[in-house]
Amino acid sequence: MNIAIFMDCYPPMKNGVISSALMLKRGLEARGHKVVVVSVNVEGKEIKETEDTLLFPQISLDFGSKQGFGYALINRKKLINFLNKHNTQLIHIHTEFPVGKAGIKAAKKLGIPYVATSHTLWEQYSNYSFLLKIKPLVRTYLKNVYKKAEILILPSLKLMDYYRKLLGENKRIEVVPNPMDTELFLPMSENEIIKHREKLGIARDAIVINCTGRVGPEKRVIETFFAMAKALKKSTNAFALIVGDGPELEKLKKIAEKEGLSSRVIFTGFVNWEEIKLYYGISDIYVTASTSEIDGLTPIEAALCGNAIVVRRDLAFSDKLEPGKSGFFADTDEELADYLIKLIEDRKLLESFKKFSPQVGRKRSIPLHAEKMEAVYIEAISSGR
């Protein structure tokens, strides 16, 4: 098959949509399919187009997310020529904005089907734009994007009820969990851990808790930090890593200072994709209080690297850990802190969790994801208009 993937974000940006889409591309190509990407160039970090990528310029509309989002300036003639050149048979949109909508129009123009993956529950991101606070507007917009998709793909069960109410019982929906590059994220050797910890001023025998991802309010990073802070106050040999950038970063730094923890909290800021695994590798525990995830990948990345996992109980995390074997589900923020303290105080339990965690992470793989998506594409093309 010849497939075109559309998304309104692209490296060097880092988020789950980009990771999932590009891993899907790799998996499909390994199965003999031809896959091209239509996306955007991030302002100030332009990437050169290649034979299989078409990148449009954009007007920056970041809304304080510090991720480089914008409004893509689509050249429709260039887009159609690109898709025709590659004999595109199916379009897969991963975002709902200008590039995604351009994919819908292109599918109609070319008379080919499109499928769509919803990665985000936008009603939980209202802090970035007042428009997202108007629920009827958001729902009408999403309905218009997805109603004509041959198949709507959801990365977890968390979104099923939402879209059943939005699109009706007859809408064709498939749940296909996001892929994970299980070979990229592996536990580090003891020598590597010591080396990278020394660079950050962390003792080799210290316990390191990390929170990795966008440092934004929708991720409940303030709540996560206070749970980490309680744990740090219980042990002088514990450190916290806040890996990532976002609108809450400066606020977190001030809170750390106010709590008297500045010397034991490391804020990395933006980290290149290739370096993320180093921070997982030197950590012992991954934690988040987020309840806005749809199919968060960071807990799986951390698990593959040998981290114990402590998260708020949420459908998005249902397959990210095995309670009592690789981590804990917390029902409250207070319980989140209690579990962190429990693992800090019981080193034997922590080590057993760290040893078991990679087994949970390996349940996902790029080949398996690509195989499942291939079946969805075949059905979409066979029944497509």
Domains, the chain: 2-179+365-383 (3.40.50.2000), 190-361 (3.40.50.2000)
Q: Cβ distance 131 to 109 under 8 Å? A: no
pLDDT of residue 148: 92
Q: Which of 40-44, 118-122, 176-180 shows the lowest mean pLDDT across its residues? A: 40-44
Over 50: is that where the pLDDT of 253 sits?
Answer: yes
Over 50: is that where the pLDDT of 303 sits?
Answer: yes
Nearest to residue 364, comparing CAs of 299, 312, 311? Answer: 299
Euclidean distance between CA atoms 262 and 108, whole angstroms: 55
pLDDT of residue 384: 61
CA distances in angstroms from 158 to 112, 153, 168, 212, 247, listed in the order given: 29, 12, 16, 21, 26
What is the mean predicted confidence (pLDDT) over 99-117?
A: 97
DSSP code for 32: T
Euclidean distance between CA atoms 168 and 330, whole angstroms: 33
Over 70: is that where the pLDDT of 47 sits?
Answer: yes
Entry pTM: 0.73
CA atoms within 13 A on the CB side of 366: 18
Mean pLDDT of the chain: 92
pLDDT, tens only, 148-181: 999 999 998 888 888 999 999 999 999 998 898 8
Count Cβ atoms within 10 A of the Cβ of residue 382 and give its class: 0-12 exposed, 13-18 middle, 19 or more buried. Answer: exposed
Over 90: is that where the pLDDT of 249 sits?
Answer: yes
Most confident of the ranges 111-125, 132-146, 204-218? 204-218
Q: Cβ distance 36 to 4 under 8 Å? A: yes
Q: Which of 61-70, 108-117, 326-335 shows the lowest mean pLDDT across its residues? A: 61-70
Q: Which of 64-73, 136-145, 185-194, 275-284 shows the lowest mean pLDDT across its residues? A: 64-73
pLDDT band at 273 (very low <50, low <70, confident <90, very high): confident
Q: Cβ distance 6 to 93 under 8 Å? A: yes
> Which residues in 2-20 are b (16+ Cβ under 10 Å) and which e?
ebbbbbbbbeebbbbbbbb
Over 80: is that where the pLDDT of 60 sits?
Answer: no
pLDDT of residue 361: 83
More confident residue, 135 or 263: 263
What is the mean predicted confidence (pLDDT) over 104-112?
A: 97
pLDDT of residue 385: 53
- Considering the chain, what percentage of its residues have pLDDT values greater than 70? 95
Euclidean distance between CA atoms 179 and 177, whole angstroms: 7
